[in-house]
Amino acid sequence: MSTTTTSQVLPFKLEADEKFNGENWASWEMLMIAEGGPHGLVNYWENKVSPQPPNLLPLPATGLTSLTPLDHEYTQCESAALSSIIRNVTDPFGFGLDPRGKAHEAWNKLQTEYGAHSDIIRKRREDILRATKFQDGEKVTGDGGHVEKMRRLLKEANDAGAGIKSEIFATILIDSFPKSWDPVVSTLHGEKDIIKIIACLSAHGDRVAGRGGRPTSSTSTDLSNQALHASITALAQQIQGLNTTYRRDQKPSNGKSHEANDHCKGIGHTIEECWKVGGGKQGQYPPWWKGKRDAPLPSSSANLAQSTVTIDPITAMVQVVAKGMMRTLWH
């Protein structure tokens, strides 16, 4: 029997997202060895330890990494080794682990059933990562964003043993964006700083999203301009016909059906429409008038009359409609 005791070995526990889940053997094995190695537990998992037979003579304690510990040391470390496996898998019974068995039996079962298939899982996870593409309308960064999704898939692939480093992930991330992003993406090839890459992609994503849902791409603007020009052209053609009809209707004919004007003895217009001296439109001669233009314009209405002569109501309507269409396009 021993007169001294060894340091107490306790089972350890990984973070919840680091536990073995059936598809992360590579990363789980690495973490388990890193945690269990300093305490000598790896030797128990690999069945390299054999306890010393009982001895009546006092024996000194052995070290934590001893392959021939004393009997009571072996019992303590074996229990800690098995508990460390069971505590660090998501479903011990689902994986077929026996809490009353040996540590090396539990380790060997997981290694045989899941470690041997890790290459298949690794390839599948890596393929999923590379096949994931950014979708229009998706956020670039933030909760539920494209970058967050890609980082999660990267971890899953690396947990399965892909070993994708930051530089490779940067290329995969850039290539996940569509061709419409080429003006921005093309400037990022060769950039090794993943933080800068994500910042540039995020900034462009905000520009694409626009403010208040307005389209911001040059393609959308060009299409809107083409539609506006087509509408104005069609409207102008209609207005041209209306102008012809309007001017024809404004010019009086020699028919006897037109009302006589006692003010100037003219035919076809009333005193309110008369352009002679004292008439309602003194000095405001119509475009078709061929006679003398000797009636002066009243000083208070000179500017208004000039506008009335040069711009008829139909033309004014065209200008108003066109301005309204432009405001609709850009607002």
The beta-strand segments (E) located in 20-95 are none
* pLDDT confidence band for 251 (50 / 70 / 90): low
pLDDT at 259: 52
**Residues 6 or more apart whose Cβ sits within 8 Å of residue 318:** 235, 236, 239
d(CA 242, CA 194): 64
pLDDT digits (tens, 9 = 90+) for 77-119: 999 999 999 999 999 999 999 999 999 999 999 999 888 777 8
Q: Is the pTM of this model over 0.85?
A: no
Residue 276 belongs to what H/E stretch? Answer: none
Tokens at 99, concatenated: 């809490």
d(CA 199, CA 168): 17
pLDDT at 216: 44
Q: What is the mean pLDDT of the chain?
A: 79
* pLDDT confidence band for 260 (50 / 70 / 90): low
Go through 122-143 and write b for each residue having 16 or more CB atoms within 10 A of its CB, e for each that does not: beebbeebeebebeeeebbbee
Judged by average pLDDT, the poorest of 166-170, 202-206, 255-259, 263-267 is 255-259
For tokens 């077929």, the residue is: 96
Max alpha carbon distance in the chain (Å)?
A: 150
pLDDT at 278: 77
* pLDDT confidence band for 231 (50 / 70 / 90): low
Residues 305-315, mean pLDDT to the nearest whole number: 48
Residue 250 has pLDDT above 80, yes or no: no
pLDDT at 317: 56
pLDDT at 294: 80
d(CA 29, CA 331): 59
- Of the CA atoms within 13 Å of residue 70, those in its CB half-sphere come to 18
Instruction: Supply the Cα-derived Rg of the chain in whole angstroms.
Output: 45
* Long-range contacts (CB closer than 8 Å, 24 or more residues apart) made by 72-77: 72/2, 73/6, 74/49, 75/51, 76/6, 76/8, 76/9, 77/9, 77/39, 77/40, 77/41, 77/44, 77/49
pLDDT at 290: 75
pLDDT digits (tens, 9 = 90+) for 262-294: 667 666 677 778 877 777 788 888 887 777 788
Domain assignments of the chain as residue spans, ordered by start: 24-121, 135-209
Residue 235 has pLDDT above 60, yes or no: yes
pLDDT at 304: 44
* pLDDT confidence band for 172 (50 / 70 / 90): very high
Residue 125 has pLDDT above 60, yes or no: yes
* pLDDT confidence band for 246 (50 / 70 / 90): low
d(CA 295, CA 50): 129
pLDDT at 320: 55
d(CA 240, CA 258): 26
**Residues 6 or more apart whose Cβ sits within 8 Å of residue 162:** 122, 125, 126, 129
pLDDT at 321: 54
pLDDT digits (tens, 9 = 90+) for 150-159: 999 999 999 8
Q: How far is CA 270 from CA 51, 92, 249, in A?
A: 128, 105, 15
d(CA 94, CA 262): 111
Instruction: Find which of 4-18, 53-67, 183-197, 297-311 is predicted with most confidence, using mean pLDDT.
Output: 183-197
